[in-house]
């Protein structure tokens, strides 16, 4: 795993040891049978939550320093999986660089607006006039991210970018069901539609490179074959 940056290697190791990244046969929403499955909802143990918080913070800070990601005021977690991810990432960013991120806020949405108490559909920092960074686990079809963008803009926020744990680098299903046709990825389509930076802690390429020596040759071979068959054109 020496070819991966330390934070990527540490995150991948935690995902493998914690059973967050699994190998086998998994049916996706697209009906494809994937040889691997990543579930960020399984980062529920303290040490695993610390690992994913650190990975998000390092990926965000690295992209920010490099200019791949602009300034942001609020880290936003779409309900439900995005809520603990955004919260943990915000805490770790402040610890990582208090001068740069100590005043960064977090926010998340409710699935249903509250009509009593403080009311509204947003919990945490107000979004109006703020640059908002969306943090979530993966992008499958992009529907949930489009909904999050619409909510943020409705609240007067400005979407600064999206950060996910994993980019599967996988093409969208062809409308006619022919998976042999070149197709873009959901991430590529979101980038094109919204002109937003989208950062991933790990890509499928990272997983294949990093799992050497940690996973069986059979799992590596099946994952490489899946990548070759379904890799996005972008």
114 to 27, 79, 122, 123: CA distances (angstroms): 36, 14, 9, 10
For residue 177, count other CB atoms closer than 10 A to its CB: 8
Query: Using an 8 Å Cβ cutoff, are 135 and 75 in contact?
Result: yes
Strand partners, 159: 132
Closest CA relative to residue 212, chosen from 201, 223, 226:
223
Query: Using an 8 Å Cβ cutoff, are 89 and 55 in contact?
Result: no
Pairwise CA distance, residues 150 & 230, whole Å: 29
Which pair of tokens denotes residue 66? 């490099």
Residue in 114, 181, 212, 229 annotated catalytic: 114
For residue 97, count other CB atoms closer than 10 A to its CB: 14
Pairwise CA distance, residues 198 & 110, whole Å: 23
Question: Is residue 114 among the annotated active site residues?
Answer: yes
- Exposure of 43 by Cβ count < 10 A (0-12 exposed, 13-18 middle, 19+ buried)? buried
Residue in 81, 116, 154, 181 annotated catalytic: 116
Question: Is residue 192 among the annotated active site residues?
Answer: no
Pairwise CA distance, residues 23 & 38, whole Å: 9
Query: Quick one: DSSP state of residue 164?
Result: E
The residues annotated with a catalytic role in the active site are 114, 116
């Amino acid at each position: 795993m020496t070819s991966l940056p330390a934070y990527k290697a540490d995150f991948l190791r935690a995902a493998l040891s914690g059973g967050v990244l699994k190998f086998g046969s998994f049916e996706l929403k697209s009906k494809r049978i994937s040889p691997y499955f990543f579930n960020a909802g399984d980062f529920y143990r303290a040490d695993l939550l610390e690992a994913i918080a650190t990975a998000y913070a390092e990926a965000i800070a690295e992209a920010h320093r490099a200019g791949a990601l602009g300034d942001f005021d609020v880290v936003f977690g779409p309900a439900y999986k995005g809520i603990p991810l955004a919260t943990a990432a915000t805490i770790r960013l402040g610890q990582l660089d208090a001068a740069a991120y100590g005043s960064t806020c977090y926010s998340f949405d409710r699935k249903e607006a509250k009509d009593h108490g403080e009311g509204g559909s947003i919990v945490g920092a107000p979004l109006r006039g703020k640059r908002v960074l969306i943090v979530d686990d993966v992008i499958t079809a992009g529907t949930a991210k489009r909904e999050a963008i619409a909510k943020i803009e409705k609240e007067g926020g400005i979407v600064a970018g999206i950060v996910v744990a994993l980019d599967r680098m996988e093409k969208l299903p062809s409308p006619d069901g022919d998976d042999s046709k070149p197709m873009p990825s959901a991430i590529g389509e979101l980038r094109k539609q919204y002109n937003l930076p989208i950062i991933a802690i790990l890509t499928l390429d990272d997983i294949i490179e990093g799992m050497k020596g940690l996973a069986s040759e059979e799992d590596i071979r099946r994952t490489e074959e899946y990548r070759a068959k379904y890799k996005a054109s972008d």
